[in-house]
Amino acid sequence: MNSALFTPFTVKNVTMKNRIVMSPMCMYSSHKEDGHVQDWHVTHYVSRAVGQVGLIMIEATAVLPEGRISSKDLGIWNDDHIRGLKELNRQMKMYGSKTAIQLAHAGRKAMVDGDIFAPSAIPFNEKMRTPVEMSLDDIKHTVNAFVEGARRAKEAHFDIIELHGAHGYLINEFLSPLTNQRTDEYGGSKENRYRFLKEIIDGVNQVWDGPLFVRVSANDYHPEGLSPEDYVEYAAWMKEQGVDLIDVSSGAVVPAAIPVFPGYQVTFSEKIKHGAAISTGAVGLITTGIQAEEIVQNNRADLVFIGRELLRDPYWARSAAKELNVELAPPVQYERGW
Ligand code: FNR
């Protein structure tokens, strides 16, 4: 069969062999609590490279220790982190996958000791701690940490960088009026709420000339929150700054009821892709080859991010190819039994 899912995708200097992306998923396995890559990460990610995933995006990796979701998150706040990430890259690339890292700061959702930080001192819910409202110096320091993270990601040989701007973490907290009630130049108007992300993108562009993706939560699912239409505008601004692709997720900014069904976020991807004329990735409850094929075939997204189904089946790309009747080359070692 002529498959769109199994055609290459080129962004800047990087060509992926197919449109399948392993969605970033925290493994909470940096068990020494120092942010370093452990054996688990190598086994886990390299298995998906053997399984012929086009792009493997490693999990949310913290640009500052206070920005970790948990103390077992991967980190990239120190030059010492480069070595483990570089070796992980070397191994993932041995099987033809391209690689990406998601640079993250958890903001008010950080679950680590010490102060946690956010644009405004509002907790996520009654069970979570109240964050410290970031000063202008804190903002500068954090923007710089993302830039330093990008520099280290380059030194560790990642092909692509993604900024985590979704799921109610720090960047998302600046974008949404529900979590950003600042009265200075980083709050209030839409332009002001975008300023933190804008400065991060500008800074990253100084040290990184490879493909840059941004993951967004395209819907706050709240009457006073952001809608997919708002994100069409944000995506257009990101495009102007040179962002190559918007990875379109949704929710988790504030506690909210989300209508979940197979492919429930694909319409947001479609809206942003055509509304802002930018490449997008679709994610969320995409589990079959047919579903993924339909999305790419109908130009609803350029890439399909697969999360939990790739946890269940590290060879999901192979399974999807079988389902679609597509020949997918195995690693040579498996030629006799693929
Ligand atoms: C996630 N997700 C996620 N998202 C993200 O942007 N960064 C991350 O580090 C994580 N971590 C994470 C861990 C685990 C164990 C799961 C299951 C999920 C969300 C994930 O990337 C994806 O968007 C969702 O799981 C929806 O896609 P699926 O799983 O329905 O394909």
Is residue 302 within 8 Å of 19, Cβ to Cβ? yes
pTM for the whole structure: 0.98
pLDDT at 37 over 80: yes
Does residue 25 line the site of ligand 1, with CB under 6 A? yes
Does residue 212 line the site of ligand 1, with CB under 6 A? no
Atom 10 of ligand 1, residue of closest alpha carbon: 25
For the segment 112-159, what is each residue's pLDDT rounded down to a tens digit?
999 999 999 999 999 999 999 999 999 999 999 999 999 999 999 999
Q: Which atom of ligand 1 is nearest to the CA of 286?
A: 31
| Of 220, 185, 216, nearest in space to 201 by CA | 216
Give the integer Cα–Cα distance in Å for 74 and 72. 7
Does residue 23 line the site of ligand 1, with CB under 6 A? yes
User: How many CB atoms lie under 10 A from the CB of residue 137?
Assistant: 8
Atom 13 of ligand 1, residue of closest alpha carbon: 25
pLDDT at 218 over 80: yes
Atom 6 of ligand 1, residue of closest alpha carbon: 24
Q: Which atom of ligand 1 is nearest to the CA of 283?
A: 27
pLDDT band, residue 1 (cuts 50/70/90): confident
Does residue 284 line the site of ligand 1, with CB under 6 A? yes
Provide the token pair at 210: 């490879």
Q: Which of 21, 26, 169, 291 to mutate to test the pocket of ligand 1 (most atoms within 8 A of CB)?
A: 26
Q: How far is the centre of ligand 1, averaged over its atoms, from the C-alpha of 245 (Å)? A: 18
What CATH architecture does domain 9-327 belong to? Alpha-Beta Barrel (3.20)
For the segment 186-213, what is each residue's pLDDT rounded down to a tens digit?
999 999 999 999 999 999 999 999 999 9
Q: Which of 23, 248, 288 to mutate to test the pocket of ligand 1 (most atoms within 8 A of CB)?
A: 23
For the segment 224-240, what is each residue's pLDDT rounded down to a tens digit?
999 999 999 999 999 99
Interacting residues of 326 by C-beta distance below 8 A, sequence separation 6+: 1, 3, 5, 6
Q: How far is the centre of ligand 1, averaged over its atoms, from the C-alpha of 171 (Å)? A: 17
Give the integer Cα–Cα distance in Å for 305 and 22. 6
Q: Which of 20, 21, 25, 161 to mutate to test the pocket of ligand 1 (most atoms within 8 A of CB)?
A: 25
**What burial class does residue 281 get, using C-beta atoms within 10 Å of its C-beta: 0-12 exposed, 13-18 middle, 19+ buried?**
buried
Q: How far is the centre of ligand 1, averaged over its atoms, from the C-alpha of 299 (Å)? A: 23
Strand partners, 22: 56, 306
Residue spans per domain, the chain: 9-327
For the segment 51-60, what is each residue's pLDDT rounded down to a tens digit?
999 999 999 9
User: How many CB atoms lie under 10 A from the CB of residue 309?
Assistant: 17
Q: How far is the centre of ligand 1, averaged over its atoms, from the C-alpha of 12 (Å)? A: 26
